[in-house]
Amino acid sequence: MPLDLGKRLRSVREEKAISLSQLAEKTGYTKSFISQVEKSKTSPSLSSLLRITDALGINPQEILHREGTSEKIMVKKSERDVYNHKKSKAQFEFLFTKNARRKMEPLFITVKAGGLSDSYSHEGEEFGTVLKGTLELTVGAETFYLEEGDCVYFSSHIKHHWKNSGPDEVVALWVTTPPSF
């Protein structure tokens, strides 16, 4: 189920009575950029989304997951939240919904050819396995080429980024702890 990220960000900003100018000042982004995000004309990078949610004083999970689904222990494929990130050419499919007690965040990540993430770090640890294609993953100064069935486990506080430099899409199962979205 597609996620209207921009609409949710705008709703939170308006509920907190924060103007576009104030949010721009807090984040260091332009009013124009924030307005385009809120109108879903552009997708923020993960690091930009984290900066915006931090400036709004909320956990990114509050934006990325639907309300009213926090106690589910089983989620049908048709009920999953999906976030399409145009800039990185990636789709993030949240396998479970928001729950404050959860310590892990499992995702399917599908990356189109040429897709890449920003370099970022955050609290916690990550586990990933490639289900299809080849994913280039850089953790610190080391680069790994993960093929189908290959796994990786690392500390998220080390700067990392991923890239699909192959001709086919990559599908990976990724788990972060604690949840970072």
Residue 69: pLDDT over 60: no
**171 and 116, same domain (yes or no):** yes
CB atoms within 10 A of CB 165: 13
* Residue 71 placed within a domain: no
Same domain for 159 and 106, yes or no, is yes
pLDDT of 151 higher than 80: yes
Who wins on pLDDT, 32 or 178? Answer: 32
Same domain, 59 and 103: no
Residue 95 lies in a domain: yes
DSSP state of 82: E
What is the C-alpha separation between 164 and 116, in angstroms, rounded?
A: 6
- Determine the pLDDT at residue 1: 41
The type of residue at 65 is H
- Are residues 102 and 13 part of one domain? no
Give percent above pLDDT 90 in the chain: 55
Residue 134 lies in a domain: yes
Question: What is the full DSSP assignment across 91-117?
Answer: EEEESS---TT---EEEEEEE-TT-BP
* CATH number for position 36: 1.10.260.40
Query: Do 40 and 9 belong together in one domain?
Result: yes
Residues 87 and 169 in one domain: yes
pTM value > 0.75: no
Instruction: Look at the alpha carbons of 41, 79, 118, 145 in this order and tell me if their dihedral is positive or negative.
Output: negative
Q: What is the CATH number of the domain that holds 96?
A: 2.60.120.10
- Check residue 72 and give its pLDDT: 66
Q: How many domains does the chain have?
A: 2
129, amino acid identity? T
Q: DSSP characters for 130-171?
A: EEES-EEEEETTEEEEE-TT-EEEEETTS-EEEE--SSS-EE
Model pLDDT, residue 99: 62
Residue range of the domain that includes 9: 5-64
Asked if residue 136 and residue 83 are part of one domain, the reply reads: yes
81 & 154 share domain = yes
Residue 89 sits in the same domain as residue 144 = yes
Q: Are residues 49 and 138 in the same domain?
A: no
**Do 39 and 124 have their domain in common?**
no
Look at the block and give the residue holding tokens 């990636």.
90
Q: Do both 98 and 152 map to the same domain?
A: yes
In the predicted model, what is the mean pLDDT of residues 10-25? 91
> Last residue of some domain: 17, 41, 64?
64
Domain boundary residue, one of 42, 64, 86: 64
The arithmetic mean of pLDDT across residues 152-159, rounded, is 96
Residue 65: the pLDDT is 62
72 within a domain of the structure (yes/no): no
